[in-house]
Amino acid sequence: MLTRKLGNSGLEVSALGLGCMGLTFGYGPATNEKEAIALIQKAVGLGVTFFDTAEAYSQGANEELLGKALQPYQGKVVIATKFGFKNGDSHQGLDSTPQRIRAVAERSLTLLKVDAIDLFYQHRVDPNVPMEEVAGTVKDLIKEGKVKHFGLSEAGGQSIRKAHAVVPVAALQSEYSLWWREPEKEILPLLEELGIGFVPFSPLGKGFLTGAINENTQFDKTDFRNVVPRFSEENRKANQKLVDLLNDVARQKGATNAQVALAWLLAQRPWIVPIPGTTKVHRLEENVGAVNLHLTPAEINEIDAAFAAIPVQGDRYPAHLQNRVGK
């Protein structure tokens, strides 16, 4: 497995991480714990050293799962977690008050079974708490040895600059993929300027780019995608053109859709580390294979031109969640 450094932070991780949210939260029923632990440990065996979780993923259950699975590999892996919601519940609204940040940090240390949190993200920018106060609190936690690096998730340019002026931001985590390219306009140039790494979540379009989802797919009633406009039956049908295009490229390369989509992301910047999530070992192995897939500049230009000709249908979030991003 190749490694990458997240910007100027010195934080070195595998070129591909593992997003662990879906093991307990967001995409239907939780995976059986024994199977989930086996999957996480299989990822370590494949060279993955970067694991992503959050308090809000099942209010700590996801962190507890990672704590159990990764305890044998302490010091050899990097675990990122997040704070920012009232009582760790995204439905209850935002809370990045200093006392809340500290409470989450203490609980995360216990659940993850670690002495320090490798990367501590603010999950969403809280308009009620000045960014300087948020960053200052994490700066204090870093001084106390409880946190190693600070990160932001789905933050806008102004918030990133404010935070970075207080304490170096190691990484920004936001959605970025072949079917969500908004970060290219302002965010990627800003991260380059400030020396901040980028961790794209949903690099496979919440599964859509793999080709495993079509207009007839029925999601579990607890699946987050049921409320995502881009995943309406009508929009899935319209967006199928993107998957067909990816299919063609994958066939030419002797690869899979997922591998091409991830290889495309890896080719964008040397400080980008995607974190695809999965509950299946064969998908994990497939995703890791993307690290060794090389796309030439000509192939990337070809993919870009073809995708630019197909407008994506549907918003990536319902309105009430869209209000929380890019602040």
pLDDT tens digits, one per residue of 122-143: 999 999 999 999 999 999 999 9
Contact in structure between 155 and 243 (CB atoms under 8 Å): no
> What's the whole-number mean pLDDT along residues 147-155?
98
* Res 25: pLDDT: 87
> What's the whole-number mean pLDDT along residues 151-167?
97
| Contacts of 303 by beta carbon, 8 Å cutoff, 6+ apart | 178, 249, 260, 264, 295
In a domain, 30, yes or no: yes
What does DSSP say about strands 3-5 and 12-14: parallel, antiparallel, or unpaired? antiparallel
Look up residue 62 and give its two tokens.
């996801």
* Res 324: pLDDT: 81
* Res 34: pLDDT: 96
Does pLDDT of 174 surpass 90? yes
* Res 321: pLDDT: 81
Phi, psi of 173 (to 5 degrees): -110, 120
210 secondary structure, DSSP code? G
Q: How far apart are CA 250 and CA 235, in angstroms?
A: 23
Please state, for a pLDDT cut of 70, what percent of the chain lies above it. 100
Contact in structure between 208 and 239 (CB atoms under 8 Å): yes
* Res 263: pLDDT: 97
Look up residue 252 and give its two tokens.
């030419």
Checking 85-90 for CB contacts under 8 A at 24+ apart, the result is 85/55, 85/56, 85/123, 85/124, 87/59, 88/55, 88/56, 88/59, 88/60, 89/56, 89/59, 90/56, 90/123
> What's the whole-number mean pLDDT along residues 63-88?
96
In a domain, 292, yes or no: yes
How much is the mean pLDDT over the chain?
A: 94
Condensed to tens digits (0 to 9), the pLDDT of residues 224-267 reads: 898 888 989 999 998 899 899 999 999 999 999 999 999 999 99
Does pLDDT of 323 surpass 80? no
Catalytic amino acids?
57
> What's the whole-number mean pLDDT along residues 67-93?
95
In a domain, 20, yes or no: yes
> What's the whole-number mean pLDDT along residues 88-94?
92
* Res 197: pLDDT: 98
Considering its fold, how many domains does the chain have in total?
Answer: 1
* Res 317: pLDDT: 80
Contact in structure between 299 and 249 (CB atoms under 8 Å): yes
Range of the domain at 302: 3-322
Domain CATH number, residue 56? 3.20.20.100
* Res 308: pLDDT: 87
Grouping H, G, I as helix, E, B as strand and the rest as coil, residue 119 is: strand
In a domain, 228, yes or no: yes
Q: How far apart are CA 209 and CA 176, in angstroms?
A: 12
Highest mean pLDDT among 22-36, 78-92, 204-218, 294-308: 78-92
Condensed to tens digits (0 to 9), the pLDDT of residues 301-319 reads: 989 988 888 888 888 888 8
In a domain, 327, yes or no: no
Phi, psi of 110 (to 5 degrees): -70, -50
